[in-house]
């Protein structure tokens, strides 16, 4: 009886061992048949703007971002002007994510009652896994038109003189979970300039970064270098901005100080007349509010 029991236990062990080996072989075959995954980087920046300049982010597909940008006057205007609080420039924009690769926007600015429209296209996206792409690259372009009255209505004025354009290549990388950097070469074209010594085609190089202090707070810095000899009729300086991002659910608040009074690309890159050392510092803020317009389709169970 004991011999039969031992034989039964031995046979049972062999069956279980064979079954386990077969299961391992099956799982191994399933692993080989599975498609390798791609892990895309998200939230390189928390907003479509690093501070006042564009970031590589767009509104998610089917979502609309309502953006309010507000600049006060310069701090060095003194107490009579409440250190700039009595002055204000506002830009209102709506930015829509058409797809995860394309974002469109339209905006109006109180500076010269300027309207602008833009498109941002993502051509590479940072990822790892089956694909390894070290950076995200976006192409951006806008056209702006100011609509205030002509400064000299007695001369022949052309509508094309109101138009300016901006084109950018944005290259960004997120390092770990806390640090993001972006480099942005840009090209601005103005159909009309103050005098013949000024260039119609203006080149600029910007760099910006973000360091997270907590899950919802980060410090951002942005600097734009205007190559010399392009804008000579005005004292145009390089733009420098520092700010803090605060995320609260569906809102992202950006509070900053900058020497640039401009609120869209062309005046930021070509007409920054403030100088930090002179106290030409403008306090400002951005309010981003995201709305879902088209709900994403859920996978079938």
CATH number at residue 53: 2.40.160.40
Would you say the C-alpha torsion 125, 131, 135, 137 has a positive or negative sign? negative
| 143 pLDDT more than 90 | yes
Helix (H, G, I), strand (E, B) or coil at 14: helix
pLDDT of residue 179: 97
Average pLDDT of the chain, as a whole number: 87
Would you state the pLDDT for residue 11?
A: 44
What is the DSSP code string of 41-58? ---SSSSSBSSSSB-S--
241 within a domain of the structure (yes/no):
yes
Q: Does residue 224 belong to any structural domain of this protein?
A: yes
Q: What CA–CA distance (Å, rounded) separates 103 from 97?
A: 4
Residue 211 within a domain: yes
pLDDT at 12 over 90: no
Answer yes or no: is pLDDT of 23 > 50.
no
Q: Give the domain extent around 276.
A: 38-292
Overall average pLDDT of the 97-105 stretch: 96
Q: For residue 301, is it within any domain?
A: no
Taking the CA atoms of 127, 185, 272 and 59 in sequence, report the sign of the dihedral they define.
negative
When divided into structural domains, the chain yields a total of: 1
Rounded CA gap, 58 and 60, in Å? 6
In a domain, 7, yes or no: no
Q: Is residue 13 part of a domain?
A: no
pLDDT computed for residue 194 by the predictor: 86
- Return the beta strands (E) in the chain as ranges: 38-40, 63-74, 88-99, 102-109, 114-124, 127-129, 136-146, 163-175, 179-190, 201-212, 217-226, 239-248, 251-258, 282-292
pLDDT tens-place string over residues 25-65: 544 544 555 677 889 999 999 999 999 999 999 999 999 99
The mean per-residue pLDDT over the stretch 15-23 comes to: 43
Q: Is the pLDDT of residue 6 over 70?
A: no
- The answer to whether the predicted template modeling score (pTM) of the entire model surpasses 0.95 is no
Residue 299 domain flag? no
For residue 109, what pLDDT is reported? 95
Per-residue pLDDT of 169-228, as tens digits, reads: 999 999 999 999 999 999 999 999 988 889 999 999 999 999 999 999 999 999 999 999
């Amino acid at each position: 009886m004991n011999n039969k029991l031992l034989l039964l236990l031995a046979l049972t062990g062999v069956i279980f061992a064979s079954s386990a080996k077969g299961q391992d072989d099956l799982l191994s075959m399933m692993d080989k048949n599975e498609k390798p995954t791609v892990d895309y980087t998200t939230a390189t920046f928390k907003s479509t703007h690093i501070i006042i300049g564009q970031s590589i982010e767009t509104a998610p597909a089917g979502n609309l971002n309502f953006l309010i940008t507000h600049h006060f006057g310069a701090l060095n205007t003194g107490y009579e002007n409440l250190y700039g609080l009595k002055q204000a420039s506002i830009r209102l924009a709506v930015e829509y994510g058409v797809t995860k690769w394309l974002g469109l926007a339209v905006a109006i600015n109180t500076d010269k009652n300027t309207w602008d429209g833009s498109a941002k296209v993502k051509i590479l996206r940072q990822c790892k896994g089956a694909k390894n792409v070290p950076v995200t690259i976006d192409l951006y372009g806008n056209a702006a038109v100011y609509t205030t009255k002509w400064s000299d209505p007695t001369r022949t004025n052309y509508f094309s003189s109101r138009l300016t354009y901006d084109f950018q290549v944005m290259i960004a990388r997120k390092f770990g979970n806390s640090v993001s950097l972006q480099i942005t070469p840009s090209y601005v074209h103005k159909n009309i300039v103050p005098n013949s010594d000024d260039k119609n085609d203006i080149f600029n190089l910007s760099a910006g970064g973000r360091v997270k202090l907590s899950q919802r707070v980060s410090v951002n810095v942005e600097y734009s270098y205007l190559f010399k000899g392009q804008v000579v009729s005005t004292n145009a300086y390089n733009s420098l901005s520092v700010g803090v991002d605060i995320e609260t659910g569906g809102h992202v608040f950006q509070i900053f100080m900058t020497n640039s009074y401009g609120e869209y690309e062309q005046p930021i890159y070509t007409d920054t007349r403030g100088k930090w050392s002179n106290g030409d510092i403008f306090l400002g803020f951005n309010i981003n509010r995201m709305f879902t317009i088209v709900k994403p389709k859920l996978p079938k169970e």
